[in-house]
Structure 1
Amino acid sequence: MAATTRRRFGQRERHDFLVFLALAAPNILLIVAFTYRPVLNNIYFSTLDWTLGAATAVQVGFGNYVEFFTSSDFTQVATVTAVFTAATVGGSMVLGLLVALALHRRMPGSGFARAAVFSPYVLSGVGVGLVWLFIFDPVIGVLAGLLRMIGLPSPQWFNDPSLALAMVIIVYIWKNVGYAAVIYLAGLQAIPQDLREAIALDGAGPWRTFRSLVLPLLSPTTFFLLITSVLSSLQAFDIIRIMTPLGTGTTTLIYEAYLQAFGGYNRAGYSATVSTVLFALLVVLTLVQVLVLERRVHYR
């Protein structure tokens, strides 16, 4: 047993471990300092009744959590968060798959089309929001002008909470559909051609091929997109901030945290509570997807 232990942790192994530690330690320290430490500090701040900028704070324990979950705004914030996340994730993934199927065909200009589809994803959310503000403006907007040309009034996108939420959902899907399309396109290109030929020899048409072959083989891609898209949507902030600065009908959890701290309330402790709830929700959703949904994934 001693010989086995010495052989397993010999001089070469110790040297490799020290090299690994020297290379990984700076990154680990940075992650601990700038990721995990702020998370722990935020959890601590959530137990305080602390006004932003004040030199002192009062320890209230779980008082902020009780206030948040029993407040009249909780149902609205939770509903807006759920609707926004479900609509943006579902819309971007479905449209992204359709776009990927179209771009998967070999045709002239397909490379330019792929770049054009993906380009909105890399644009600044602030810039995207400003451009779409001009499009949706009910007075001078492009959409309002087109509607007036056919004798229709422009919807009041900014004053109606339901229309404001629909507006930011449309813009967020438009910005992120290219990301889903590129990921799905990579998954489509990884499907072996001989499998397509084999199922075609069995008499399968396009719909049966898509349902019985393509979709199951795309399940790892769909699983990856589902996790990343849900996490991204729950943390969407820039477009909501630019297009609806008051959060009229668009107050998600992360925007509620911003409004409580910097929107005039200056309630840093309460804002930390909302942020902690969002963090816990992200962890739970990720664990559910990994532990439950991954069982339905068909890895090749």
Structure 2
Amino acid sequence: MIRPLLMCVVLCVVYGSSKPTEKKSRVHEDEPLSNLEHDDHKNHDYDHEAFLGEDQAKAFDQLSPEESRRRLGVIVDKMDQNKDGFVSEEELKDWIRRTQKKHVYDNVEQQWRDFDVNDDGVISWEEYKNVTYGSYLEDPQDSEFDYSHMMLRDERRFKAADRNGDLNADKHEFAAFLHPEEQEHMKDIVVQETMEDIDKNGDGFIDLTEYIGDMHTSETGEEEPEWVESERQQFSEFRDKNKDGKMDKEETLDWILPSDYDHTEAEAKHLLHESDANQDQKLTKSEILNKYDLFVGSQVTDFGEALLQHDEF
């Protein structure tokens, strides 16, 4: 059975049940802490996933408000690292960062069992290739699609993640392979893969047509959504920094992995601003629990209150 590697920019890799697919999700700057829309006027789902992680956010959604508040109280005690009775912005940032890293390494552990075939504590390129592309390798002519390009692309990323060059990935190297956006030394691979996917004319740049075309495909006679024009302005005013009508590698890096904007810091400031009733730039447990629906989800009934009982709660 062939399994595909799909990189998600959040922060996950999804494996299919049959064969590789041509689709490659990429890292974009919009929603690094969650794939959900961040619009507090609609709901706080983005904040829930940023604060708890996707799996825990879903778990809290099954709880009653009372149980959700109780569990949030346990988390608040953990966030208060210096035990001064307050949660600072820095402590909020640390918690969100740990939440996101846990999501990455939980994903690595899940994939590890599939690919460490001989259970020797490392995943070789041969193991990964055979598990992912096994049936294609056995009979390429029997496949509807030529997966050789995908395999070469995966091999290039695997070798970039393999810091010691032994073609065996330990868990840190495998994490870099699955989530290259998380590692400084993998940024060039992230940019290269992004440009390969969007640069349709193969000139080594991303022009406006390719940039918009990656996000939206217009049908004949279809009215263009308003956000498309907004993205055109974004391209002209911010993406294309040297105003030559296209994005080079450096400009693409600034787009997908911006160094001048910390999403974790922005989310921590947002949670602090929305919860800090007395505006003293730190949160008490009461202030957080009073705004519990901002931090965590719940149900209006007690259905599911007994679900997903973990030791930490």
TM-score (norm 2): 0.22
Between structure 1 and structure 2, the one with the greater Rg is 1
